[in-house]
Amino acid sequence: MEKIVILTGAGISAESGLGTFRDAGGLWEQHRIEDVASPEGFARDPALVQRFYNARRAAAAEATPNPAHIALARLQAEYPGSVTLITQNVDGLHEAAGSTGVLHMHGALSGALCPACGHRWEAPAEMAVAHPCPACGTKRARPDIVWFGEMPYHMDEILTQLEACSYFVAIGTSGQVYPAAGFVRQADAAGAHTLELNLEASAGRSAFAEARQGRASDLVPLWVAEMLAEVG
């Protein structure tokens, strides 16, 4: 079985009702990144940041996986060990659809992190500003989200998988944020076939060998069916 690496972005969760960042009306039209998605913003106004992520946690709790999430979980289940799922998303919809071992390179809304001791735990639905760390008691817990200027998680594993993959698929991402936006070139350099499934041409479209435009919940199940038929 081919080694498949899949990268998802906000577009795969759009049809589950969760907003994207850069589409019209997106999150970055409603909030300034430097205020709600940077360590400096958190230091300046932690209450604003906690409100932003509490609202996103509440929205994610209401969302359900769509056919795109479900199709990817099916592909993983059919070919255990051959499908690496990397997501830039912080919602839990891949796991809710049945995916396992998802590499959340930007963290997850379900996580809380203590900036003092590095302890991680399950975030409460509503995280207060003075939320105490269960390990050291420091009252400055933050969402376990990778903010701008911080190093994404799982990069060693991701780079290892990109070097070994024969198929790289990007789904629902605008290709504007690195290092994720560069994964297609690393996969291409490794000789992989590269495919973009997106509502519109992303900033990285020219780096892909193939691209299909449309909604993820239409394109992904069709692509998974092709992969399952191909391998037989």
Which parts of this chain interact with ligand APR (CB under 6 A)? 9-11, 14-15, 20-23, 26, 88, 106, 172-174, 176-177, 198-200, 202, 215-216
CB neighbourhood size of 139 (10 A): 12
Catalytic residue numbers, as ranges: 106
User: Is 173 among the annotated ligand-binding positions?
Assistant: yes
158 vs 64: CA distance, rounded Å: 26
Q: Minimal CB distance to ligand APR: which residue? A: 11
User: Is 53 among the annotated ligand-binding positions?
Assistant: yes
**Least distance in angstroms from the C-beta of 136 to ligand APR:** 28
With the CA atoms of 173, 175, 179 and 184 taken in that order, what torsion angle do they form, in degrees rounded to the nearest 10?
Answer: 90
User: Is 136 among the annotated ligand-binding positions?
Assistant: yes
Q: β-strands 120-122, 142-145: how paired?
A: unpaired
Residues forming a β-bridge with 210? 195
CA 140 to centroid of chain Cα atoms: 25
Tokens of 166: 């024969």
Please, which residue, 69 or 106, has the CB nearer to ligand APR? Answer: 106
CA 187 → CA 138, 183, 194, distances in Å?
42, 6, 7
**Least distance in angstroms from the C-beta of 174 to ligand APR:** 3
User: Is 114 among the annotated ligand-binding positions?
Assistant: yes
**Least distance in angstroms from the C-beta of 138 to ligand APR:** 25
Please, which residue, 90 or 133, has the CB nearer to ligand APR? Answer: 90
User: Is 66 among the annotated ligand-binding positions?
Assistant: no
**Least distance in angstroms from the C-beta of 23 to ligand APR:** 5
Q: Which long-range contacts (CB under 8 A, 24 or more apart) does 201-207 make?
A: 202/170, 202/173, 202/174, 202/175, 202/176, 203/174, 203/175, 203/176, 204/170, 204/175, 205/175
Please, which residue, 64 or 176, has the CB nearer to ligand APR? Answer: 176
Binding residues for substrate, by number, are: 53, 56
Binding residues, by number, are: 9-28, 53, 56, 88-91, 114, 117, 133, 136, 172-174, 216
